[in-house]
Amino acid sequence: MNASIAPNETADGHRPLLPGVRVRLDAASCLPERFPANTCELCVEACPLALLESRGGAPRLIEAATMQADSCIGCGQCAAVCPSGALHVDGFALPAELPDEAELLVDCWRVPAAESPAGTLRVPCLGGLSAGWLLSLFDQSGERPIRLLERGQCAECPAGAGIKSLLAAITETRMLLFECGVDMSQMPMLAWRPCHTPLLPAIPASMAEVPLPRRGFFRSLLGESLKAVEATRPAADSGPITLRSPMQPLQRLRLATALTGIARRHDRPLPTRILPHLSLGACDANGVCAAVCPTGALQKATPAAGQAELRFESLRCIACNQCARVCPERSLRLDVQGGEAKPVVLASWRQRECIRCGSDFSDPAASAEPASAAGLCSTCRKTEALSRGVAAFLRPTLGSDVSQP
């Protein structure tokens, strides 16, 4: 029986871009939806049919009012490149149990089930596989070789451009596994396996629409029954998702978790090419950067009374660069690689009470503020600086009647 990857694990908060369309969006995890100035359009560029567009916000279907629901073929290429996991397409969830085979074969839903060898994992489109997906499968299987079946007909498929995405995912996976010390013979690769029968006209909407051989039909009934039982179980209440809540970068965490296990088994450090590096210059300790970090990779914490620090966790960072964009001092610099696997303290400050407004604030250790600003929070310091500037501007006109604040 083929190990079908059924359409499950739909994340809470995902909604269809259009009724009947297979792509669902979690707006709370979409970077342009959170930050309208963000210009992330990776999903728009990845869609092989050019069905997506972005107009200063979340991705939307072009001419959604007139588009037919079946225009989207469900290849998953948009979701594979989404850095924040905001897009979800059914059919790409890893099964809880893997077939007991020496090699893991992965095939496309358009290939008739009878053409796939026993134990083959089937997904809607190989172009919708990411490096994180391949690494998770490699880790979950105990580092068994993965063979992605090349049927020789991708060029004729509407999702045919996905072969480039697949090759990019395979290359990235192999480079990461090489840094982890994995033998070349175990690495994922394409396997040429011509299809002897025509492919299905289009990617099926679900595995239920894939024709099965007679022996697989009755086995599939058992699988559908088990899924029906699972559907009756109450879902865990995760609470409402808001734009202020930290998003869970599922793709990022999947990749980092798999690589951590693989590197540990080979006694190698985690490859630095997946670890963003954040450096900090002169800082006013206002904490704006941490407040806008969508994943919580950058946090302002109080480890002890009277202390504050800025922490950075590269494993949760999706390199959106939002922290550097909003930094008032332009003190942050983000590099896409070269970071550390463990949390790093970028800066630490004393916590004090503002002598003017009474609020707690973080006081930079090496403050260049004049003596009159000592003991003031950043808001009160700016207010005082503005007052001094206004007074200096008006003094030549009004004379000594204008006093210093």
pLDDT tens profile 340-355: 989 999 988 776 777 6
Which tens digits make up the pLDDT trace of 283-295? 877 788 998 999 9
367 closest CA partner among 246, 284, 305: 284
Give the highest mean pLDDT range of 88-102, 167-181, 248-262.
167-181
- Three-class secondary structure of residue 335 per DSSP: strand
**49/172 same-domain check:** yes
Tens digits of residue pLDDT in 46-60:
988 888 887 666 666
Q: Where are the alpha helices (DSSP H) in 109-248?
A: 131-140, 162-179, 214-231
Whether 348 and 227 share a structural domain: no
- Asked if residue 316 belongs to a domain, the reply is yes
The answer as to whether 387 is a domain residue is no
Reduced to 3 states, what is the DSSP secondary structure of residue 126? helix
Sign of the alpha-carbon torsion through 28, 31, 32, 38: positive
The answer to the question of residue 398 being in a domain is no
Residue 208's pLDDT is what? Answer: 57
Same domain, 23 and 126: yes
Query: Rounded to 10 degrees, what is the CA torsion of 326, 332, 334, 340?
Result: -130
Q: Please calculate the CA angle 85-87-93 and round it to the nearest 5 degrees.
A: 75
- Whether the per-residue pLDDT at 107 is higher than 90: the answer is yes
Distance of CA 235 to the CA centre of its chain: 23
**CATH for 367:** 3.30.70
Residue 193 CB partners (closer than 8 Å, separation 6+): 149, 150, 151
The count of structural domains within the chain is 2
**Within a domain: 402:** no
Is 110 part of any domain?
yes
Helices (H), 59-126: 77-81
**Domain boundary at 178, 201, 231, which?**
231
Per DSSP, what are the bridge partners of residue 348?
A: 309
Query: Read out DSSP for 30-71?
Result: -HHHH-TT----HHHHH-TT--EEESSSSEEETTTTT--GGG
77: pLDDT confidence band, cut at 50, 70 and 90? very high
DSSP 8-state class, residue 311: E
* Distance from C-alpha of 44 to C-alpha of 61, rounded to nearest angstrom: 9
Tokens standing for residue 102: 């020496």
Within a domain: 404: no
Neighbours of 64 (CB within 10 A): 12
Higher pLDDT, 318 or 28: 318
31 and 130 in a common domain: yes
Residues 204 and 332 both lie in one domain? no
Q: Are 150 and 10 members of one domain?
A: yes
Q: For strand 87-89 and strand 23-25, is the pairing parallel, antiparallel, or unpaired?
A: antiparallel
pLDDT of residue 29: 85
Does 129 share its domain with 35?
yes
pLDDT of residue 65: 40
The domain boundary, picked from 231, 262, 292, lies at 231
User: Are 109 and 14 in the same domain?
Assistant: yes
Tell me, yes or no, whether 286 lies in a domain.
yes
User: Is 243 contained in some domain?
Assistant: no
Range of the domain at 312: 275-376
Indicate whether 156 and 285 sit together in one domain: no
Q: How confident is the model at residue 7 (pLDDT cuts 50, 70, 90)?
A: very low
Q: Are residues 16 and 159 in the same domain?
A: yes
Least confident of 183-197, 265-279, 288-302, 379-393: 379-393
| pLDDT tens string 142-164 | 999 999 999 888 777 888 767 88
In terms of domains, do 72 and 166 share one?
Answer: yes
Do 39 and 110 belong together in one domain? yes
